[in-house]
């Protein structure tokens, strides 16, 4: 999947996405470390993660209406510049020795708000830059850039930089965002909203509800939204207890958890890489159905084995299925949604996934406490299998 074949504008968008998500991964690892250096209170440290993730639940749906109203390229640039300024304030406060936990919370929360707007806007920037036939291939590259930056490369770099100097990860994050903003600004000016949409001031709530009503009436996208939420819910339920599953079920030492996380990340990247080829081979409906079916099979492998090799294989399969799903679902949304509604439809999908993750983690913890560590893993198998059947028959019918 060579990015060069999709044109220079796509290359700049891909690089901006990679840099922005790399910076996000660095910041998400460094902020809890900073909080832990300021206070030993575990509740206060956990509050950083809550502050960073809660904007999706509070502002996620509204972000789509904002993105649909304004020039998406300029909005993305403004958001990145504001986040750079926030990080400059944090770096300055740390350098002067006046930073406190409240400032850490504020930076995490405000950067989280910016992330809701930027991620939503990024999902709408691609269609004007590539042909419809290349959307799946282009989305595969963007999804992999997001996964690699947020999960595979960014966090360990953030932890390493924090060990060198407390201010270093935040300075690097500001630099990646600044370059990303410049790259987005260099994109062709083809993202202005349709005439009249920018003039409807004071109607964000009405626009948000209108987008949700449109989505609710679209049977194919509505089903995609529900199934995506179920997929994220089941995935989060077992992933939340993986850190306990590795030593207690598989009997591996501490390094085994890191190895399995790496296997999962590689599986997700492989899924994103091959998603376009799979879709063109068997079609989008069969690809989505296969994702749910393979995820169920992977969780079954995890739930019935004590072998590290079998567990790693199951983890790679589930992560790969999730990677394929992310690309195919995003491409379908872009193809089936009118441009003026794409921000709202994209933000609704992301909000459902972000909301399902903590709910699934909580449910997984409760199931594991009551029925054992394999219970949340096995509980997802029949749910995902049923989802595959629903996807196969309902998607094809629609």
What is the DSSP code string of 360-392?
HHHHHHHHHHHH-TTHHHHHHHHHHHHHHHHII
Q: How far apart are CA 385 and CA 132, in angstroms?
A: 31
Q: How many CB atoms lie within 10 A of CB 311?
A: 26
With b meaning 16 or more CB within 10 Å and e meaning fewer, what string describes 196-218?
eeeeeeeebeebbeebbeebeeb
For residue 369, how many C-alpha atoms fall within 13 Å in the half-sphere facing its CB?
7
Give the residue from 205, 228, 224 showing the smallest Cα distance to 216.
224
User: Does residue 357 contact residue 236 with C-beta atoms inside 8 Å?
Assistant: yes
User: Does residue 108 contact residue 52 with C-beta atoms inside 8 Å?
Assistant: yes
Q: How far apart are CA 189 and CA 297, in angstroms?
A: 45
Write down the residue that tokens 């996405």 correspond to. Answer: 17
- What the chain holds in terms of domains, given with CATH numbers, is 3-187 (1.20.1250.20), 208-397 (1.20.1250.20)
| pLDDT tens-digit profile, the chain (398 residues) | 444 478 899 999 999 999 999 999 999 889 988 988 888 887 788 788 788 888 888 888 899 999 988 888 999 999 999 999 999 999 999 999 998 999 999 999 999 999 899 989 888 899 999 998 899 999 999 999 988 888 888 888 998 999 899 999 999 999 999 999 999 999 998 776 665 554 455 588 888 899 999 999 999 999 999 999 999 999 988 888 888 898 999 998 878 888 888 888 899 999 999 999 999 999 999 999 999 999 999 999 999 999 999 999 999 999 999 999 999 999 999 999 998 899 999 999 999 988 888 888 888 888 988 899 899 999 999 999 999 999 999 877 65
Give the residue from 189, 140, 156, 206 showing the smallest Cα distance to 33.
156
| The pLDDT of residue 2 | 40
Whole-prediction pTM:
0.85
Give the residue from 262, 243, 263 showing the smallest Cα distance to 253.
243
User: Does residue 226 contact residue 387 with C-beta atoms inside 8 Å?
Assistant: no
Which phi and psi angles does 315 have, rounded to 5°? -65, -40
Q: How far apart are CA 259 and CA 380, in angstroms?
A: 23
| The pLDDT of residue 261 | 83
Q: How far apart are CA 307 and CA 68, in angstroms?
A: 49
CA-based end-to-end distance of the chain: 30
User: Does residue 145 contact residue 17 with C-beta atoms inside 8 Å?
Assistant: yes
DSSP 8-state symbol, 127: T
Q: Which helix (H) or strand (E) holds 138?
A: helix 135-147
Written as six digits, the tokens of 33 are 């470390």
Question: Rounded to the nearest 10 degrees, how much is the dihedral formed by the CA atoms of 246, 147, 348, 342?
Answer: -160
User: Does residue 390 contact residue 296 with C-beta atoms inside 8 Å?
Assistant: no
């Amino acid at each position: 999947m060579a990015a060069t074949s999709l044109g220079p504008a796509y290359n700049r968008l891909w690089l901006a996405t990679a840099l922005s998500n790399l910076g996000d991964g660095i910041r998400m690892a460094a902020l809890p470390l900073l909080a832990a250096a300021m206070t030993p209170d575990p509740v206060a440290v956990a509050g950083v993660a809550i502050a960073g993730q809660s904007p999706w639940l509070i502002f996620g749906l509204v972000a789509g209406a904002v993105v649909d109203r304004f020039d998406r390229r300029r909005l993305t640039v403004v958001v990145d510049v504001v986040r750079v300024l926030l990080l400059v304030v944090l770096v300055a406060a740390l350098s002067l020795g006046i930073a406190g936990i409240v400032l850490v919370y504020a930076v995490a929360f405000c950067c989280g708000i910016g992330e809701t707007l930027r991620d939503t806007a990024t999902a709408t920037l691609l269609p004007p830059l590539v042909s419809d036939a290349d959307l799946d291939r282009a989305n595969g590259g963007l999804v992999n850039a997001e996964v690699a930056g947020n999960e595979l490369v960014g966090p360990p770099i953030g932890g390493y930089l924090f060990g060198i100097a407390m201010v270093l990860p935040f300075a690097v994050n500001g630099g990646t965002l600044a370059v990303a903003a410049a790259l987005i600004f260099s994109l062709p000016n083809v993202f202005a909203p349709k005439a009249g949409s920018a003039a409807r001031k004071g109607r964000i709530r009405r626009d948000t509800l209108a987008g949700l009503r449109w989505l609710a009436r679209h049977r194919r996208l509505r089903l995609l939204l529900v199934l995506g939420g179920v997929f994220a819910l089941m995935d989060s339920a077992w992933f939340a207890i993986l850190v306990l599953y590795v030593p207690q079920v598989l009997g591996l030492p501490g390094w085994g958890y890191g190895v399995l996380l790496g296997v999962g990340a590689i599986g997700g990247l492989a899924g994103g890489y091959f998603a376009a080829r799979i879709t063109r081979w068997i079609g989008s409906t069969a690809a989505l159905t296969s994702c749910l079916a393979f995820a169920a099979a992977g969780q079954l492998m995890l739930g019935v084995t004590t072998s590290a090799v079998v567990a790693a294989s199951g983890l790679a399969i589930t992560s790969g299925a999730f990677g394929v799903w992310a690309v195919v679902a995003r491409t379908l949304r872009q193809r089936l949604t009118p441009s003026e509604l794409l921000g709202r439809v994209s933000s609704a999908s992301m909000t459902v996934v972000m909301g399902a993750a903590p709910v699934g983690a909580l449910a997984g913890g409760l199931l594991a406490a009551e029925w054992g560590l394999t219970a949340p893993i096995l509980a997802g198998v029949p749910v995902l299998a049923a989802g595959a059947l629903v996807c196969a028959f309902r998607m094809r019918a629609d």
